[in-house]
A and B are shown apart, each in its own frame.
Chain A
Amino acid sequence: MTTGLKGPPDVGVPVDYRAALPSGPRRLGTRRAVLLLITVTGVWAAFHLQLDPRGLIPDGGGLRLAGRFFGAALTPALTYEASFVPEGAPPFLQKVINAMAVTVSFAAAASSLSLIFGVPLAFVSSQAWWASGDEGAGARRVIHAVGPVVYGVSRVVIGLSRSVHELLWAVLFLAAMGLTPLAAVVAIAIPYSGTLAKVFSEMIDEAPRDTARALRDAGAGPLSVFFFGLLPRALPDMLSYAFYRFECALRSAAVLGFFGIPTLGLFIRESFTNAQYHEVWTYLYAMFALVLVADAWSGRIRRRLVA
């Protein structure tokens, strides 16, 4: 067998193994440098923020509070913890279930809205939407004229909507519109539309192109190729991601409760300020249950679609 190595190995002279490797950029070196850079950045950030692991150990009062809070985890409240309950208040569990329902409805409304805006935005911000080349001369002129503009604008819109967190949008909208459900839903839907559009467009662009090519070879027009050749290949991933975003929307809706909309977050805050930790845990478990159910549901649908 010829190996191409220089020099017989049994003479004790080190074989110049590098000469036997193909020349070209040494990728391995770059990778090491990147790894080093990441480590250095992490250490620098820790020093800059003066992070001290000893800060994790609470002092006497804090320790007692933490003990009480985590101790309550094993015994979540089933009835009101307070001795005084206002007249006409619903039973505690009823109140929890109501809060769950409100959280789900906010998340569902925000998710639907973000799909309505995110999906078309994803189409026009994907490369595949603009790159077909099979259209007629007239259509091509229009695409050449408006394509780059629409593509660029959609990318900017996506960037802007994503760069501001839903909590900041909420502050803005609640100030402008007051404490309305619509304000909260729109606050969640804006950054979610941007995120969906960005991720969906990437999924569309990364989907296998073979079906699209086959349909083009069967004479299908650009729209048909996109919707029946490309989109179906990206759909399982898109669906799975949409469900994940619904899960995120559940959390966001809960957190917006801190601003006063009657989702789980509102009651978590109320019980927490009143030091009713057993109630807090009931709400936390309710949240956990919601996410779990959403996850199981998305898993079932995805299995039906993919496996």
Chain B
Amino acid sequence: MIRPAGDTVRPADDRGMRLEAVTVRYRGLAALDGVSLRVAPGERVGLVGPSGAGKTTLLRVFNGSVRPSEGRAVVLGHDVSQLSPAGLRRLRSVIGFVHQDLSLVPNQRVVRNVLSGKLGQRSFAGSVRMMLFPRRLEELHVHGILERVGVQEKMYERTDRLSGGQRQRVAIARALYQEPVALLADEPVSSVDPARARDTVDLLTSISREQGLTLCMSLHNLALAREFFPRLVGLRHGRVVFDGPTAELTDAQFDDLYHLAREEMLADGNGNGAAVPPGVL
């Protein structure tokens, strides 16, 4: 694997993520409020909670793009507040992030969208070379990953010719092409139909199992969360309201999480139940 010079080699056991009393404030509003959380290497954690609960912020702290206002976030053995911009980039380059809106370049071929996953591990000159003249070996690697997510026959098609579900797989393939040690997914299934949503969660969790990848996914669909994640973390108002093995969580706890949020929404009158404007999260 090619890495920019100066990359530190992480010990194999240092692949977990840890938050210690992390608070994140946006213009005075606390998106996360004293959250402590430990995710073991290879663990699969589902994040549930109403909109504006802080799920996205939590994921962004995990990939170092949001720094804690208070507390400590230790990701893959690095305190993210201590890392230089270059160090943060290197950290992010080994953490795959699947976004809700997929964020692909629509008028580009699938192969290029996947290749762009490795831009964080190349110099700019190396990136230009890779994007314009991909090597045979790189294309083979991309093909292998597309095969794993089930869209290998679309490799040279333009991305906007693909269906929504296929594009989602391309976005996942781009994250996997990073050869990540951890995967973060922010509501990856909120914009697809239920059958597709189930397939996608299934795909991500089985990849995580196969490759021993740490997986943190936020999702609205409680049924899917309970089916596929051995551990669930419930967030509300930036606080952890429950955290434990899925089997031990009661229906009442889930009801609580969403029910209270609903009451607050009604009380507000405008449907703005979120403590923090949704755009911020």
Measured CB to CB, the residues of A under 8 A from B are 134-137, 140, 210-211, 213-221, 223-225, 227-229, 232-233, 235-236, 305-306
User: In the complex where A134-B89, A218-B178, A228-B131 touch, is A210 in contact with B124 (Cβ < 8 A)?
Assistant: no
Question: Can you list 27 contacts pairing A with B, beta carbon distance less than 8 Å?
Answer: A136-B85, A210-B103, A211-B104, A213-B99, A213-B103, A214-B97, A216-B65, A217-B65, A217-B99, A218-B96, A219-B90, A219-B91, A219-B93, A219-B94, A219-B120, A220-B116, A220-B120, A220-B127, A221-B89, A221-B119, A223-B127, A224-B120, A227-B127, A227-B128, A228-B119, A233-B105, A236-B107
Residues of B118-163 whose CB lies within 8 A of A: 118-122, 124, 127-128, 131
In whole angstroms, what is the CA distance A232 to B119 when docked? 15
B108 contacts the other chain (CB 8 A): yes
Q: 14 extra interchain contacts, Cβ-Cβ under 8 A, other than A219-B92, A228-B116?
A: A136-B86, A211-B104, A214-B99, A214-B171, A217-B65, A218-B93, A218-B117, A218-B178, A220-B89, A220-B93, A220-B116, A228-B131, A232-B105, A233-B105
Mark contacts of B73-112 with chain A using CB atoms, 8 A cut-off: 1 yes-contact digit, 0 otherwise: 0000000000011101111111111010111110110000
Residues of A within 8 A of B120 (CB): 215, 218-221, 224
Measured CB to CB, the residues of B under 8 A from A are 63, 65, 84-86, 88-97, 99, 101-105, 107-108, 116-122, 124, 127-128, 131, 171, 174-175, 178
Residues of B within 8 A of A140 (CB): 85
- Judge whether A136 and B84 touch: CB under 8 Å: yes
- Judge whether A219 and B107 touch: CB under 8 Å: no
- Judge whether A211 and B103 touch: CB under 8 Å: yes
Residues of A within 8 A of B86 (CB): 136
Q: How far is the CB of A138 from chain B (nearest CB, A)?
A: 10
Q: Identify B107's interface contact among A134, A218, A306, CB under 8 A.
A: A306
- Judge whether B127 and A224 touch: CB under 8 Å: yes
How many CB-defined contacts (below 8 Å) exist between A and B?
A: 93
- Judge whether B127 and A135 touch: CB under 8 Å: no
- Judge whether A134 and B101 touch: CB under 8 Å: no
Q: How far is the CB of B246 from chain A (nearest CB, A)?
A: 27
Chain B, Cβ-Cβ closest to A135: B85
- Judge whether B103 and A214 touch: CB under 8 Å: yes
In whole angstroms, what is the CA distance A254 to B154 when docked? 47
Residues of B within 8 A of A233 (CB): 105
Residues of A within 8 A of B63 (CB): 217
In whole angstroms, what is the CA distance A220 to B91 when docked? 11
Q: How far is the CB of B33 from chain A (nearest CB, A)?
A: 24
Q: Identify A220's interface contact among B94, B96, B105, B119, CB under 8 A.
A: B119
In whole angstroms, what is the CA distance A92 to B213 when docked? 75
Q: Identify A215's interface contact among B85, B116, B124, CB under 8 A.
A: B116
Chain B, Cβ-Cβ closest to A230: B105
Q: How far is the CB of A30 from chain B (nearest CB, A)?
A: 25
In whole angstroms, what is the CA distance A217 to B98 when docked? 9
Most buried by B among A135, A136, A218: A218
- Judge whether A217 and B92 touch: CB under 8 Å: yes
Q: How far is the CB of A103 from chain B (nearest CB, A)?
A: 32
Chain B, Cβ-Cβ closest to A209: B103
In whole angstroms, what is the CA distance A305 to B160 when docked? 11
In whole angstroms, what is the CA distance A223 to B122 when docked? 11
- Judge whether A235 and B107 touch: CB under 8 Å: yes
Q: How far is the CB of B105 from chain A (nearest CB, A)?
A: 5
Residues of B within 8 A of A224 (CB): 119-120, 122, 124, 127
Residues of B within 8 A of A225 (CB): 119
| Complex A-B, nearest 8 residue pairs according to Cβ-Cβ distance, in ascending order | A219-B120, A219-B93, A214-B103, A219-B92, A220-B119, A210-B103, A217-B97, A219-B89
In whole angstroms, what is the CA distance A219 to B90 when docked? 6
Residues of A within 8 A of B91 (CB): 219
Q: How far is the CB of B109 from chain A (nearest CB, A)?
A: 11
Q: How far is the CB of B208 from chain A (nearest CB, A)?
A: 18
- Judge whether A215 and B99 touch: CB under 8 Å: no
Chain A, Cβ-Cβ closest to B108: A232
Residues of A within 8 A of B175 (CB): 218
Q: How far is the CB of B281 from chain A (nearest CB, A)?
A: 14
Chain A, Cβ-Cβ closest to B161: A307
Chain A, Cβ-Cβ closest to B128: A227
Residues of B within 8 A of A219 (CB): 88-94, 119-121, 178
In whole angstroms, what is the CA distance A43 to B122 when docked? 61
User: In the complex where A135-B85, A137-B84, A221-B124 touch, is A215 in contact with B119 (Cβ < 8 A)?
Assistant: yes
In whole angstroms, what is the CA distance A167 to B108 when docked? 40
Q: How far is the CB of B36 from chain A (nearest CB, A)?
A: 24
Most buried by A among B65, B99, B124: B124
Q: How far is the CB of A307 from chain B (nearest CB, A)?
A: 9
In whole angstroms, what is the CA distance A137 to B103 when docked? 28
Residues of B within 8 A of A220 (CB): 89, 93, 116, 119-120, 127
In whole angstroms, what is the CA distance A224 to B97 when docked? 17
Most buried by A among B90, B95, B105, B122: B105
